Every structure is written in structure tokens, then in C-alpha cells.
Amino acid sequence: MLVSKLIEGRNIILRPHTQKDFKLIHQWMTNPQVTGEHIDISLSDLRKGYEERIKGDYYLLFMIDRENTTIGFCNVYYHRKDPESKIVDVGIFIGEIGYWGKELGKDALTTLLIYTFDILDIEEVTVTYNKDNERIKRLTTKLGFKVEQSDNIKGKTTKEEIEGAKITKEEFRQTVSHTEDGKLFYIIS
């Protein structure tokens, strides 16, 4: 599914991806310092994988821009590839290491969650990550995700080292603020 607009966060912007961005994504994904593992994939295979997903109507890909620099990407994946599903899995990836630890991951994920709950009208969001990834654990815990082994998460992997967490729209309302008519916006410390 193609994303057609800019979504403004506090210090970042989520924007539609372009063909050029796959080169950057490939650079980040194959950098063990970024992913913590050795991922051996060619640019054309990576491009194919993403293009398949983007062609469908169950996957959204946003690039994360900080001022004039593209620093990462994030995505929304509808449960069971069903665009009617009210459950999605999200991913967040800051590929530029120099930008880690500056709360930009928090900014991007919060912005993505507001969009997902308010605009896409999703009821539950899951996220999966390696158990030893302390950054994402702290980030998701801070935003109100709870570690869980529900079928929505279990179905994704059988790997021991993978952990999953989820958050509902109601739970996310406790993290961010909302206007009188229910629109979410964020003030988080």
C-alpha cells in the first residue's frame, strides 16, 4: 500500500518511501553494528521483498527524516495480510547510529502509533524484537506496550530469542494525551 502524505512528529517526519531509499535500507540492514547480526542479502533481493509487500494492501512503509537527513524507517503490517484486520504489527528502525539515544526512536514510534490508532483505526498493535535488544524494550515499555505471548505474536516466529509485546488503543491513551473529541496527540516525558 503506498503512503501518500507526510506525517509530522515532534522532531521527525514520516514520509512516503521512494525507490532511492532501498539503497539506504540495504546499507543499514547489512550493517551488523545496526542490527546486531550478520544479514546477508543483496540489494535486489531486499528490493524484491519490499516491493512484494508494498504492492499488496496490507503493508505500509514510511521513511523517517530528521531535518534533511533520512535516518531510518518504520512500517505497519496488517495481521494475516488482511487489510480489514484491526490488529497490526509495527517495526521501527533507526539506521543511522549517530542518531540513536536522542529520543528520535521514541518520537517516530509515538507518531506512528498515533497515526495507526487514529487514522487507520486500529485496535491493537504488536511489536516483536530480539530479547537482548534493550533499546527497543525500554522504548516500547515506556510507550505502554506489555510483553505478551498471544497468538498474534506467537504465530510470527518460533525462535526462542524473539519477544513480543502489544498495546491496545485504550492503553495507548494512557501514554499520550487526547483532545475532547478523542483525537490523540502526545506529551510524554
Tell me the residue nearest to ligand COA as measured from the CB: 105
Phi first, then psi, for residue 77 (nearest 5°) are -125, 115
**Does 93 contact ligand COA by CB under 6 A?**
yes
For residue 48, the minimal CB distance to ligand COA (Å) is 22
Asked whether 57 and 1 are in contact (CB, 8 A), the reply is: yes
Q: Choose, by CB under 6 A, the member of 138, 146, 154, 183 that binds ligand COA.
A: 138
Q: What is the grid cell recorded at 160?
A: 526462542
Q: Choose, by CB under 6 A, the member of 103, 118, 148, 171 that binds ligand COA.
A: 103
Integer Cα distance of 117 and 17 in angstroms: 21
**Does 136 contact ligand COA by CB under 6 A?**
yes
Phi first, then psi, for residue 178 (nearest 5°) are -145, 155
* Interface size with ligand COA, residues (CB under 6 A): 22
**Does 153 contact ligand COA by CB under 6 A?**
no
Q: What is the grid cell recorded at 75?
A: 512500517
Integer Cα distance of 65 and 138 in angstroms: 22
Integer Cα distance of 79 and 126 in angstroms: 9
188 CB-near residues (< 8 Å, 6+ apart): 106, 110, 142, 143, 175, 176
**Does 100 contact ligand COA by CB under 6 A?**
yes
Instruction: Tell me the one-letter amino acid at 12.
Output: I
**Does 12 contact ligand COA by CB under 6 A?**
no
Tell me whether residue 141 or residue 183 sits nearer to ligand COA (CB atom). 141
Q: Note the residue count of the chain.
A: 189
**Does 186 contact ligand COA by CB under 6 A?**
no
**Does 135 contact ligand COA by CB under 6 A?**
yes
**Does 77 contact ligand COA by CB under 6 A?**
no
Q: Which stretch binds ligand COA (CB under 6 A): 42-50, 127-135, 161-169, 175-183?
A: 127-135
**Contacts to ligand COA by CB under 6 A:** 34, 72, 91-94, 100-106, 127, 129, 133-136, 138-139, 142
